[in-house]
Chains A and B, each alone.
Chain A
Amino acid sequence: KAGVTQTPRYLIKTRGQQVTLSCSPISGHRSVSWYQQTPGQGLQFLFEYFSETQRNKGNFPGRFSGRQFSNSRSEMNVSTLELGDSALYLCASSSEGWTTKPEAFFGQGTRLTVV
């Protein structure tokens, strides 16, 4: 069974640009969550998609958006990049809700550097 795949692994962008990150969850998993990890703030929850609907959202500005496709693959978009957006972006997939089979399976992350 293939794991969670995130692409690209590394990305360098310039301030003001936009970026799209991709996450392919484990086959059969319907929930995809996104997290931003920085040394100062730790793991911050961005949003969660379940069956193509955004189910939960963290406290990030509207520049951060996402979507989920019918095959459960998810994309995360950040517009008008700022230096502070430099981080490791992690995607996690889960089979159902967080109470029945709550274990999350993580991808290796996308390391975004904004210069």
Chain B
Amino acid sequence: SQQGEEDPQALSIQEGENATMNCSYKTSINNLQWYRQNSGRGLVHLILIRSNEREKHSGRLRVTLDTSKKSSSLLITASRAADTASYFCATVSPQGGSNYKLTFGKGTLLTVNP
């Protein structure tokens, strides 16, 4: 079952614009990660934010986390055509004891038009 739910499901923007994707989740988490997937290929890790952090930056990526609202957002600034891909949030949540599990949302399909 999905832990994270991304919003929107699809997003189409022009090159140079900013893209914002949101993720909501249901249970407590240890950390939240964002991944990117080019069509039909493996996922690539982009950025991680831990539950005690509120904001992280990495290059053109900015991720925020609001644990009170159980939500996160990923901002890609100055988008490029090469950013076209599906973006997934993934949560690491406790399963009891020291056991944790990584689960993914359904993803946002981002299309950046040249």
Contacts and interface: CB of A to CB of B under 8 A. Distances in A.
What's the interface size class on A, roughly?
20 to 34
Contacts of A104: 33, 35, 43, 45, 90, 102
B104 A106 contact: no
A103 B41 contact: no
B42 A106 contact: yes
Contact of A106 (B43, B100, B105, B106): B43
Contacts of B107: 42-43
A75 interface: no
Nearest to B98: A97
Nearest to B45: A103
Contacts of B40: 88, 109, 111
Nearest to A106: B42
Interface in B42-101: 42-45, 48, 88, 90, 92, 95, 98-101
Nearest to B40: A88
Q: Is chain B's binding surface mostly helix, strand, loop or mixed? A: strand
Contact of B101 (A45, A59, A106): A45
Contacts of A107: 42
B54 to A, nearest CB: 18
A104 B88 CA distance: 13
Contact of A98 (B44, B102, B105): B102
Contact of B33 (A48, A56, A97, A102): A102
A94 B43 CA distance: 13
Given A42-B105, A88-B40, A102-B92, 8 more contacts: A43-B88, A56-B101, A94-B102, A97-B98, A98-B92, A98-B101, A102-B30, A102-B48
